[in-house]
């Protein structure tokens, strides 16, 4: 029986977008007074990224942004989420802004607006100015204060024309991959510092939100993008349920708790007590973090399957966050990670749209009344041009169809999801994996930097134009 129209059409104002981040696409790392970020330092350190690849050139978006905006317009995209490079705007992470740096983003915003594409700005997508890391980085409180200053600078410069703002992208990765497992910049492996970093990222979000509000029109929307995990226990055994609780606290509660409810979960404090005493949480911090938000950004790729650990088991854990002898989960020595069954993407991440539906419904209950945006979702595949130069990626189309159907179902089930940003607009620097993992809807030939929309880009553009999901073969 054909589905009734209302269950396949998205709301007319639904934002169909694509996302990127500065270090992954811009290149031009030494232009306009930009200084190194922690990712420049990390990627230039031997052994830290696949093949020693760096974001020096990336996909040269800094010089090709007009072409990229034209491509988005041609595809039919309605919104574009990008991040600002902090060291391009405020090279040492403190003091006055460099106008050349801000001018790049002013031009990008002008170009987007004149193409009818809504810009959405992420202030921090992992490229901390190196000087701030040299002063201690996110484990130090001062970094949060510096972030608020930077947020104010960017808000003053662009707040009149950009309505959608995101303070931080996936602070979990900044804290626990950056300071715990060390697979991300700055590559530190200090469990206690990773929890301090998490708190100061929370504080940065709160202070940054207040700073933005102090300089921007009230109509603007301020959100945060969290890679909120869907944590599932392998069984209902109390030990497995306890393992799932611990990982849920370390993945979700550590950020959602203070940001949405003004508290750290008691179970999180208990699970991490052998690692930290949380004494760096000062009076008034939780109030500062717990700012009213206008929306919540959810980034989703795959669920996390856990059990209680076999005390005899040793060796690296398959938690999907890169390989390191160090765990990104402080205090969770009693937890084992398992591969969720099912088809996987090129990252080895299991494809499971039901997780996205579950996530949306969870935050619909946990933050009633708060509009939700899917600020990242997508898949890496080993895409290659055919002899005619076209790139066919039916797997990505099926992935997008499955996940967008889950979003649509959640809307039918009462969730207020206002938009979806595909990760990513184009192939780019996938952090420690270098250029080997292609997440783009647009193929980039890394030798010539030529852009070619994959078949998924055309499919997604058609969805954006029509507000419905075009049919997919075999689905
Ligand atoms: O490429 C990243 C992005 O920078 C943050 N979220 C996950 C993506 C895929 O790994």
Tokens of 248: 């849920």
Backbone angles phi, psi at 115, to 5 degrees: -90, 0
67 is catalytic: no
Catalytic residue among 366, 376, 395, 473: 376
Give the model's confidence band at 317: pLDDT under 50 very low, under 70 low, under 90 confident, else very high: low
- pLDDT value of position 313: 64
Count CA atoms within 13 Å of residue 224 on its CB side. 27
The active-site residue out of 26, 53, 111, 170 is 170
Q: How confident is the model at residue 322 (pLDDT cuts 50, 70, 90)?
A: confident
Range 268-275 contact pairs with CB under 8 angstroms and sequence separation of 24 or more? 271/246, 271/331, 271/332, 272/195, 272/330, 272/331, 273/331, 274/331, 275/191, 275/192, 275/195, 275/330, 275/331
pLDDT of residue 355: 98
Residue 165 tokens, joined: 């703002």
The response to whether residue 10 sits with its C-beta less than 6 Å from ligand 1 reads no
Residue 262 pLDDT > 50: yes
Which of ligand 1's atoms lies nearest the C-alpha of 227? 6
Question: What number does the ligand 1 atom closest to the CA of 126 have?
Answer: 4
Over the chain, what is the mean pLDDT? 96
Residue 473's pLDDT is what? 78
Nearest-atom index, ligand 1, CA of 378:
9
The C-alpha atoms of residue 429 and residue 59 are separated, in whole angstroms, by: 8
Q: Write out pLDDT tens, residues 119-167.
A: 999 999 999 999 999 999 999 999 999 999 999 999 999 999 999 999 9
Q: In the predicted model, is pLDDT for residue 7 greater than 60?
A: no
H-state helical runs in 290-393:
353-366
Measure 307 CA to ligand 1 centroid, in angstroms.
26
Is residue 68 lining ligand 1, measured as CB closer than 6 Å? Answer: no
Is the per-residue pLDDT at 4 higher than 70? no
Joined tokens for residue 361: 């419904």
Ramachandran quadrant class, 362 (left: phi over 0; alpha: psi -120 to 50; beta: rest): alpha
Report the pLDDT value the prediction gives residue 433, as an integer from 0 to 100: 98
Q: What is the atom index within ligand 1 of the atom nearest the CA of 423?
A: 8
456 CA → ligand 1 middle, Å: 18
Residue 312 pLDDT level (bands cut at 50, 70, 90): low
Nearest to 407 by CA among 375, 431, 385: 375
Residue 5 has what pLDDT? 46
Asked if pLDDT for residue 347 goes beyond 70, the answer is yes
Decide: 261 and 204 in contact? Cβ < 8 Å.
Answer: no
Lowest mean pLDDT across 191-195, 316-320, 334-338, 343-347? 316-320
Q: What is the pLDDT of residue 2?
A: 45
Segment 390-425, tens digit of pLDDT: 999 999 999 999 999 999 999 999 999 999 999 999
> According to the model, what pLDDT value does residue 321 have?
84
- Summarised one tens digit per residue, pLDDT across range 196-226 is 999 999 999 999 999 999 999 999 999 999 9
| Separation CA 269–CA 331 (nearest Å) | 10
Number of Cβ within a 10 Å radius of residue 76:
17
97: pLDDT strictly greater than 90 = yes
Which of 94-108, 262-276, 314-328 is least confident? 314-328
Whether residue 1 has pLDDT greater than 80:
no
409 CA from centroid of ligand 1 (Å): 25
Strand partners, 373: 297, 419
Asked if residue 6 has pLDDT above 50, the reply is: no
- How far, in Å, CA of 420 to CA of 297, rounded? 9
Q: Residue 271: which H helix or E strand, with range?
A: helix 266-271
Confidence of residue 233 (pLDDT cuts 50, 70, 90): very high
Residue located nearest, by CA, to atom 2 of ligand 1: 430
Stretch 77-102: mean pLDDT, rounded? 98
CA distance 180 to 192: 8
In the chain the domains, ranked by start, together with CATH numbers, are 5-466 (3.20.20.80)
The confidence band for 109, taking pLDDT boundaries of 50, 70 and 90, is very high
With a cut of 80, say whether residue 316 has pLDDT above it. Answer: no
Active site residue 149: no
- Quote the ligand 1 centre to 4 CA distance (angstroms): 35
> Is pLDDT at 315 greater than 70 in this prediction?
no
Give 318's pLDDT tier (boundaries 50, 70, 90). low
Percent of the chain with pLDDT over 90: 94
Beta carbon of 302 within 6 Å of any ligand 1 atom: no
The answer for residues whose C-beta is within 8 angstroms of residue 393's C-beta and 6 or more apart is 381, 383, 454, 455, 456
């Amino acid at each position: 029986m054909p589905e009734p129209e209302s269950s396949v059409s998205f709301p007319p104002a639904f934002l169909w977008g694509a996302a990127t981040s500065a270090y992954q696409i811009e290149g031009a790392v030494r232009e306009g007074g930009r200084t190194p970020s922690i990712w420049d330092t990390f990627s230039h350190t031997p052994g830290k990224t696949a093949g020693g690849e760096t974001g020096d050139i990336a996909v040269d978006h800094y010089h090709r942004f007009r072409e990229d905006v034209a491509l988005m317009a041609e595809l039919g995209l309605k919104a574009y989420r990008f991040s600002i490079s902090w060291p391009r705007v405020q090279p040492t992470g403190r003091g006055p802004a460099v106008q050349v740096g801000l001018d790049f983003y002013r031009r990008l915003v002008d170009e987007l607006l004149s193409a009818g594409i809504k810009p959405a700005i992420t202030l921090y997508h992992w490229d901390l100015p190196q000087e701030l890391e040299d002063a201690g980085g996110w484990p130090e409180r001062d970094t949060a204060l510096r972030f608020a200053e930077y947020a104010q600078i960017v808000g003053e410069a662009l707040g009149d024309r950009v309505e959608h703002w995101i303070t931080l992208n996936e602070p979990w990765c900044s804290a626990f991959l950056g300071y715990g497992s060390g697979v991300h910049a700055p590559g530190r492996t200090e469990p206690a510092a990773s929890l301090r970093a998490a708190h100061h990222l929370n504080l940065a979000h709160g202070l940054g939100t207040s700073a933005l509000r102090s300089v921007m029109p009230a109509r603007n929307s301020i959100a945060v993008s969290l890679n909120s995990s869907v944590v599932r226990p392998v069984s209902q055994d109390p030990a497995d349920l306890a393992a799932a609780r611990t990982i849920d606290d370390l993945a979700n509660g550590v950020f959602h708790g203070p940001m949405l409810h003004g508290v750290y979960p008691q179970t999180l404090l208990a699970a991490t007590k052998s690692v930290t005493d949380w004494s760096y949480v000062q009076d008034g911090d939780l109030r500062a973090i717990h700012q009213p938000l206008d929306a919540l950004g959810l980034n989703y790729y795959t669920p996390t399957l856990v059990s209680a650990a076999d005390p005899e088991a040793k060796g690296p854990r398959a938690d999907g966050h890169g390989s390191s002898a160090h765990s990104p989960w402080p205090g969770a020595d009693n937890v084992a990670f398992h591969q969720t069954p099912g088809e996987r993407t090129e990252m080895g991440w299991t494809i499971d749209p039901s997780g996205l539906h579950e996530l949306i419904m969870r935050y619909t209950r946990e933050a009633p009344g708060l509009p939700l945006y899917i600020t990242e979702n997508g898949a890496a595949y080993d895409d290659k041009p055919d002899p005619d130069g076209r790139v066919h990626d039916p797997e990505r189309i099926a992935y997008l169809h499955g996940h967008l159907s889950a979003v649509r179902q959640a809307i039918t089930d009462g969730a207020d999801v206002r938009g979806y940003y595909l990760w990513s607009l184009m192939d780019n620097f996938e952090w420690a994996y270098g250029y080997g993992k292609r997440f783009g809807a647009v193929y980039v030939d890394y030798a010539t930097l030529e852009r070619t929309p994959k078949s998924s880009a055309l499919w997604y553009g058609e969805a954006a134009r029509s507000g419905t999901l075009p049919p997919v073969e075999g689905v």
